[in-house]
């Protein structure tokens, strides 16, 4: 299996621009997570989906952030408009259905976002 695939790997943009991060989970995994990693706040859960349905979005910082999962093999995290404080590494992770398997989350390589 190719693992969790994220794109882009790096993104540099200017304040006010729209940013879209993409994720393809491991085939057969029903849960998908978006995490943000910064020096100040560590790894924070932004949102997670189960069977393509958002279950918990309490970690989404504000309305500028939105996430979608139109099907089992694709998810996006969008920031509009972007701000310098959004600069971080954004990880996507997937796992089997809660209660099944080992509970392990498999992470993508992350998307490093820099907002100037």
Partner 1 sequence: AQTVTQSQPEMSVQEAETVTLSCTYDTSESDYYLFWYKQPPSRQMILVIRQEAYKQQNATENRFSVNFQKAAKSFSLKISDSQLGDAAMYFCAMMLKAAGNKLTFGGGTRVLVKP
Asked if residue 2 binds partner 1 (CB under 8 A), the reply is: no
Burial class (CB in 10 A: 0-12, 13-18, 19+), 49: buried
Strand partners, 33: 48, 93
Contact flags string 9-48 toward partner 1, x per CB under 8 A: ----------------------x-x--------xx-x--x
Residues in binding contact with partner 1, number by CB under 8 A: 24
Of the ranges 14-22, 64-72, 74-82, 88-96, which one interacts with partner 1 (CB under 8 A)?
A: 88-96
Distance CA 56, CA 71 (A): 18
A 10 A CB-CB count for 94 gives 25
Of the ranges 16-24, 60-68, 77-85, 93-101, which one interacts with partner 1 (CB under 8 A)?
A: 93-101
Helix (H, G, I), strand (E, B) or coil at 8: coil
Among positions 15, 55, 80, 83, the unique one binding partner 1 when judged by CB under 8 A: 55
Closest contact distance (angstroms) between CB of 66 and partner 1 is: 19
Cα 95–chain centre separation: 13
């Amino acid at each position: 299996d190719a693992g969790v695939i994220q794109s882009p790997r790096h993104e540099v943009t200017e304040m006010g621009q729209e940013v879209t991060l993409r994720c393809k989970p491991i085939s057969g995994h029903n849960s998908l997570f978006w995490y943000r990693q910064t020096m100040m706040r560590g790894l924070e859960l932004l949102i997670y989906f189960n069977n393509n349905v958002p279950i918990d979005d309490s970690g989404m910082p504000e309305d500028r952030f939105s996430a979608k999962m139109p099907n089992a093999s694709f998810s996006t995290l969008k920031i509009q408009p972007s701000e310098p404080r959004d600069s971080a590494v954004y990880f996507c992770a997937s796992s089997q259905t809660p209660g099944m398997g080992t509970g392990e989350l498999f992470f993508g390589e992350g998307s490093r976002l820099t907002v100037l």
